Amino acid sequence: MVAGARPNFMKIAPLMKALAGDRDFDITLIHTGQHYDDNMSGQFFRDLGIPEPQFHLEVGSGTHAQQTAEIMRRIEPELEKLHPTAVIVVGDVNSTAAAAMVAKKLGIDVIHAEAGLRSFDRSMPEEINRIVTDSIADLFLVTEESGRVNLLHEGVPAELIHLVGNLMIDSLRQNLERAQSSEIADKLSVRGRPYGVVTLHRPANVDDPAALAEILAALGTIADTLPLLWPVHPRTRARLADSNLSIGSGIRLLAPLGYLDFLSLEAGAALVLTDSGGIQEETTVLGVECLTLRDNTERPVTVELGTNRLAGTRKATILAAWEEMKRSSREKQIPPLWDGRAGERSREVLREYYAKSSASEERRVAAR
């Protein structure tokens, strides 16, 4: 199992737990080190109870090409030594596509958890990672119906696609009670008070000073009436420092938070403004209003059933979505199978798939 960035960790934790309790599976964890400092990685491992990885590639930061290439270079000899039956990759980060490509070239099965999601925006690096990974995967674990439909349209045989639910929501449900005992709200003096939470990290939003200025202007206006807490991703903080853009007085910049502290703030928020895919899912299950600072989403079920609204990236569109949210309420639903049992369903899919593969191999041997 390969993970490298914060969004991966919430997805591998319940799957590792489900597989670790089954004697027929032997799991090795490879951490690529795509996210590498303690706030971005180590704290998440501790909060989620993920065991120490057997291999840590310590790739670190770099451009997309540099990071992808370095992951491929460092993971290849480890996979050659292990030569596992399969490599499980999750999500849509550089570690996902890099590990999948190396595994496939070594003749190792590739299993993609969170397969089939599409924003249909190829300017997003994550979309390229999703497309590349799904084009070579052997088995597809899907979170929502749109993923199944997308894969069928791309020619994937239906018997290889399995709607199992959402591993990230497994982590949320398993840890929400612990998160609610976090003292972070008291430390920030927001307990019992209305506040919003901001996350922002996508290159299209933070690397272009003009785009960042539009978003900051909207956040500043919202923060005049709703104080905003912003745990700042390291690369976003660097862009803010380089831009010299004004940040509204109602916006409070924080260091990156561990999983439990962030979940605690998220669950207690009146509003979350984000460009993160996973947070769109979490807010839907938590029943927290979410404005996604993008023009599209690869998780349409969060808009169709959940609390998510696409707000765009311009000041005018973000504020229009904010006003609409305040004016209108709608019935909110939790998507099918987002019930905390995706890890168990994934295990059963893997068990059935490899039982069939083993039986087929035995028949081939017998025929020879």
What is the overall mean pLDDT for the chain? Answer: 94
What pLDDT does residue 37 have? 58
The whole-angstrom separation of Cα 89 and Cα 277 is 17
pTM of the model: 0.94
Q: How many residues does the chain have?
A: 368
Distance of alpha carbon 125 from alpha carbon 2, whole angstroms: 19
Residue 55 has pLDDT above 80, yes or no: yes
Would strands 55-56 and 2-3 be described as parallel, antiparallel, or unpaired?
unpaired
Structure tokens that stand for 108 in this block: 């190792």
> Which pair of structure tokens corresponds to residue 26?
């032997």
pLDDT above 80 (res 330): no
Show the domains of the chain with their CATH numbers. 2-165+338-367 (3.40.50.2000), 179-327 (3.40.50.2000)
More confident residue, 207 or 39: 207
Q: What is the pLDDT of residue 233?
A: 85
Catalytic residues: 201
Burial track 247-272 (b if 16+ CB lie within 10 A, e otherwise): bbebbbebebbbbbbbbbbbbbbebb
Between the CA of residue 167 and those of 108, 143, 286, what are the distances in Å? 23, 8, 15
Quote the tokens at residue 294. 């993008």
Residue 284 has pLDDT above 90, yes or no: yes
Q: Are 290 and 214 in contact (CB under 8 A)?
A: no
Q: 5: pLDDT confidence band, cut at 50, 70 and 90?
A: confident
Residue 163 main-chain phi, psi, to 5 deg: -80, 105
Exposed e or buried b per residue across 229-241, where buried means at least 16 C-beta atoms within 10 angstroms of its C-beta? bbbbbeebeebbe
Angle at 331 between CA 329 and CA 336, to 5 degrees: 140
